Amino acid sequence: VKDHMILQIEDCMKDDKISFEEGFSKVEYSWKDSFSLTKYWIFYGQEKIPLVVKKIIKEKYDQILKKAFVFALMSFIINIFLVFYANNVEQYKIFFHVQNALFVVAPTLVLVLNFKILKYIRADFKFKGRIFYTIYQKNVGLLAVSTISMVQVAMKEGKYAYWFLRTDNHTHILFTLLTFIVPLFVQWFVIFGIMNFFEHKNTLKNVSAISNY
């Protein structure tokens, strides 16, 4: 935003042949709405942030959500494949346990292997006491909650999905839908949390490098 505004001021000075002060005032006025304060309660609660910041955050999260959903959808397709690959319902139960347990192991390993940076991910941690390191900090809570939820999913048997697709037993439609949909959404948020974690880790490196410079 800063670089963009500087370029705009330079263009105004050149095209309109005005002073820096006049160019600055003109560009500042054009950004007035973008700098108006708003709330983004999902991640910032009651704290007010500039509208332009909210737009940037939302755009970034939308990108990560889309990527995470693609991976979750791939896992969903693998689950369907395992239904038809299993020789019987007992074998599918094992596949179901293992597949969903991977989404418990993965985030756990991520947090354990990166335990040194966990102190920087607290929601109240601020860089030099002034600004938050990144927009990703509060998502560690989401990762923890989704991982715990994934433990509950992994403990289920998934038998309703097998019965629905491999037998004529279609009497448990609601449980069948839950067997398909719940793991998909919980896995989606687990992947989203992991992606956010690595985005945060990379941003920590960048901010630290700038600070050292």
pLDDT in tens, the chain (213 residues): 788 888 989 988 888 888 888 888 888 888 888 888 888 766 666 777 788 878 887 888 889 899 999 999 999 999 999 999 999 999 999 999 999 999 999 999 988 888 777 666 666 666 555 555 555 666 777 788 889 999 999 999 888 888 988 888 778 888 889 899 999 999 999 999 899 888 877 777 766 554 554
Six token digits for residue 82: 């395992």
Which DSSP category does 122 fall into? -
What is d(CA 141, CA 123) in angstroms, rounded to the nearest whole number? 9
Phi–psi pair at 129, nearest 5 degrees: 75, 10
What is d(CA 106, CA 71) in angstroms, rounded to the nearest whole number? 14
- Dihedral of the alpha carbons of 119, 120, 121, 125, in degrees to the nearest 10: 100
Structure confidence at residue 127 (pLDDT): 55
Residue type, 124: D
Structure confidence at residue 210 (pLDDT): 46
Which DSSP category does 46 fall into? T
| H or E element in which residue 194 lies | helix 173-212
- Dihedral of the alpha carbons of 181, 186, 189, 191, in degrees to the nearest 10: -100
Structure confidence at residue 48 (pLDDT): 79
The residue assigned the tokens 């927009």 is 135
What is d(CA 1, CA 43) in angstroms, rounded to the nearest whole number? 21
Structure confidence at residue 137 (pLDDT): 65
Q: What does each C-alpha distance from 173 to 61, 92, 153 come to in angstroms?
A: 33, 19, 18
3-state secondary structure of 174: helix
Structure confidence at residue 144 (pLDDT): 83
8 A C-beta contact, residue 163 and residue 175? no
CB proximity list for 98: less than 8 A, separation 6 or greater: none
Structure confidence at residue 213 (pLDDT): 43
User: Which residues are 131's β-sheet partners?
Assistant: 127
Structure confidence at residue 44 (pLDDT): 63
Structure confidence at residue 43 (pLDDT): 62
8 A C-beta contact, residue 58 and residue 67? no
Pairing of strands 37-39, 48-50: antiparallel
Structure confidence at residue 17 (pLDDT): 86
Residue type, 170: H
